[in-house]
């Protein structure tokens, strides 16, 4: 279900296709024609590599991969923990030529949002994919946040500083968005861990600190050293300093 990576002008979303090459080439080409950026992974190991370095808007998984590789890939996406850079709530569409009820149930139980049987027209895959992303966008809420020179396009999951793009992981983007909603308010680590990572208990993890440090470095590099992401000792973080 996947092929070579290509890019298009002004893409709206990116999609990770998981499955054997070159079977996915046709779907990749169709998605690129519809202005998606397509990323490829041939197996679960490659899935983790892509998710550690990119922030796809959705994932399409070939559930007919050998050795239950498709189910493993779905589970890997969903099992992302607080120290992983990707968003475990990414929309996941499973595709299978053997859509027996028990196989569909297994895929849904592992975390697929929907399963479609093949052969199927590309327009149906596209419609289902867009519906899943609309649902995810609605949960994220549409709109643009602006803080000084930072612009966060939540629907496109894109960040710029003075019109220059800033590449962030899913969790870094979630952290920035949480701080940008009220940039001078100190947001506690417990609140950030709950809202960005979905964890009820903070425990002993330093994941908020490590992600905040990476986010601070990226914003500083893109803004000529501007001081963003302020650590208020013992309390939490805010996006801008009092004197900003």
Q: What is the SS3 assignment for 14?
A: strand
The answer to whether 217 touches 231, Cβ cutoff 8 Å, is: no
Predicted confidence band at 1 (pLDDT cuts at 50, 70, 90)?
very low
State whether 77 and 154 are in the same domain. Answer: no
CA distance 21 to 2: 6
Strands 187-188 and 236-240, how do they pair? antiparallel
Is residue 5 domain-resident?
Answer: no
State whether 112 and 148 are in the same domain. Answer: no
Listed range (14-28, 118-132, 172-186) with the worst mean pLDDT? 14-28
Q: Please tell me the predicted confidence (pLDDT) of residue 154.
A: 75
Domain end position, chosen among 140, 161, 182 = 140
Strands 92-96 and 114-117, how do they pair? parallel
Predicted confidence band at 2 (pLDDT cuts at 50, 70, 90)?
very low
Number of structural domains (the chain) is: 2
pTM (global) more than 0.75: no
State whether 52 and 133 are in the same domain. Answer: yes
Domain end position, chosen among 100, 115, 140 = 140
State whether 135 and 163 are in the same domain. Answer: no
The answer to whether 228 touches 150, Cβ cutoff 8 Å, is: yes
Q: How many residues would you count in the chain?
A: 244
Q: Please tell me the predicted confidence (pLDDT) of residue 203.
A: 57
């Amino acid at each position: 279900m996947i092929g070579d990576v290509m890019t298009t002008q002004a893409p709206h979303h990116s999609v990770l296709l998981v499955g054997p090459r070159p079977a996915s080439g046709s779907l990749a080409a169709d998605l690129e024609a519809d202005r998606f950026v397509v990323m490829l992974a041939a197996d679960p190991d490659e899935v983790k590599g892509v998710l550690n370095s990119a922030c796809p808007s959705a994932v399409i998984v070939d559930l007919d991969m050998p050795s239950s590789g498709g189910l493993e890939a779905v589970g890997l996406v969903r099992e992302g923990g607080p120290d992983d850079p990707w968003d475990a709530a990414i929309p996941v569409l499973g595709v299978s030529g053997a859509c027996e009820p028990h196989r569909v149930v297994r895929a849904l139980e592992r975390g697929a949002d929907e399963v479609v049987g093949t052969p199927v027209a590309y327009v149906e895959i596209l419609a289902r994919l867009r519906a899943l992303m609309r649902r995810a966008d609605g949960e994220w809420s549409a709109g643009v946040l602006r803080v000084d020179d930072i612009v966060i396009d939540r629907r496109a999951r894109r960040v710029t500083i003075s019109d220059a793009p800033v590449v962030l992981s899913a969790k870094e983007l979630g952290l920035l968005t949480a701080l940008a909603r009220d940039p001078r308010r100190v947001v506690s680590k417990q609140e950030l861990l709950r809202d960005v990572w979905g964890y009820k208990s903070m425990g002993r993890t330093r994941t908020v600190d490590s992600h905040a440090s990476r986010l601070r470095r990226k914003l500083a590099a893109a803004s000529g050293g501007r001081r963003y992401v302020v650590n208020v000792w013992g309390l939490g973080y805010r996006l801008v300093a009092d004197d900003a």
